[in-house]
Amino acid sequence: MSEKEIQIQCSGCSLGYEGETVVSDINFEVREGDYLCILGENGSGKSTLVKALLGLKSPNSGEIKRSGGVGAGEIGYLPQQTVVQRDFPASVREIVISGCLGKTGLRPFYNAAEKALAVKNMERLGITDLAKRCYRDLSGGQQQRVLLARALCAADKILLLDEPVTGLDPKAQIDLYELISKLNKNGITIIMVSHDINAAVMFASHILHIGGQKQLFFGSKDDYVNSPIGRSFILSEGGDIIE
């Protein structure tokens, strides 16, 4: 495990908005092929941390180092859904290929390689037959697959997912978790923000738990399940302890 390359290292990070600290003293690292789940209550600063990892926001103190061929724009990102998107008139293909935009630079249009990449990623996520459909007519699960395909167009080493299963029905949630897990087994590093402790414990390899403005836990999933904080959180969420 430990000989795998470190892709993101976050040391002593403190994050906040306009002088107010949201969360401080965050320390963790993500290695190639990891599946890190970030847990925490509403407003604990998960999305803020995600922005910092993406390089959209610089930490107030501490530092975030990206290495192993992962530059600032080379993290595939699945944002929390916004209201604007729900009734957006765009075809699936248009959305997926927009993931390639970081590669175009000043060139105004997509080239053949980028178009092929979009096709490949639609196949990979099983949405090829939806290519011409309108995004707003899709089910929540299909929409998330489209956004995942877009994220894969942007970067195929690390995916950062901010609460990807929110608003999906249980069946679609399981499908999406399995899809993400499959991508992880194919070598893509996954960092996922989640409320869902059961899924985290089931799929993740590492857990980062934040709350009360600080880091409560970072380590492997097995250590988390056996730690006092992990046990109490799992029980309070009504989950079962799976060993």
Partner 1 sequence: MSEMISKLQDYFTLPFVQYAMIVGLLIALCSSLLGVTLVLKRFSFIGDGLSHVAFGAMSVAIILGLTNQMLIIMPVTVASAILLLRTGQNTKIKGDAAVAMISVGALALGYMLINIFSKSANVAGDVCSTLFGSISILTLSKFDVWLCIALSTVVIALFVLFYNKIFAVTFDESFSKATGVKSDLYNLLIAIVTAVIIVLAMNLVGSLLISALIIFPALSAMRVFKSFLSVIICSAVISVVCAAAGILISILMSTPAGSTIVTADIVVFLIFWIISLFKRG
Ligand X SMILES: Nc1ncnc2c1ncn2[C@@H]1O[C@H](COP(=O)(O)OP(=O)(O)OP(=O)(O)O)[C@@H](O)[C@H]1O
Say if residue 2 is exposed, middle or buried (CB neighbours under 10 Å; 0-12, 13-18, 19+).
exposed
By CB under 8 A, residue 134 contacts partner 1: yes
Smallest separation, CB 156 to ligand X (Å): 25
Smallest separation, CB 148 to partner 1 (Å): 12
Smallest separation, CB 44 to ligand X (Å): 4
Binds ligand X by CB under 6 A, chosen from 4, 5, 12, 43: 43
Say if residue 66 is exposed, middle or buried (CB neighbours under 10 Å; 0-12, 13-18, 19+).
buried
Q: Report the alpha-carbon distance of residue 169 to residue 149 in Å, rounded.
A: 20
Residue type, 130: L
Nearer to ligand X, 126 or 212 (CB): 212
| Count of CA atoms in the C-beta half-sphere (13 A) of 156 | 13
Binds Mg ion by CB under 5 A, chosen from 14, 47, 181, 227: 47
Binds partner 1 by CB under 8 A, chosen from 40, 45, 99, 230: 99
Say if residue 19 is exposed, middle or buried (CB neighbours under 10 Å; 0-12, 13-18, 19+).
exposed
Task: Point out which span in 47-55, 112-120, 165-173, 227-235 binds Mg ion (CB under 5 A).
Answer: 47-55
Say which residues have a Cβ less than 8 Å from residue 57's Cβ, sequence separation at least 6: 15, 48, 51
Q: Report the alpha-carbon distance of residue 146 to residue 141 in Å, rounded.
A: 9
Nearer to ligand X, 36 or 153 (CB): 36
Nearer to partner 1, 111 or 232 (CB): 111
Can you give the binding site for partner 1, defined by CB under 8 A?
Answer: 51, 54-56, 72-73, 75, 77, 79, 82, 84-85, 88-91, 93-95, 98-99, 101-102, 104, 108-110, 132-134, 137, 147, 150-151, 154-155
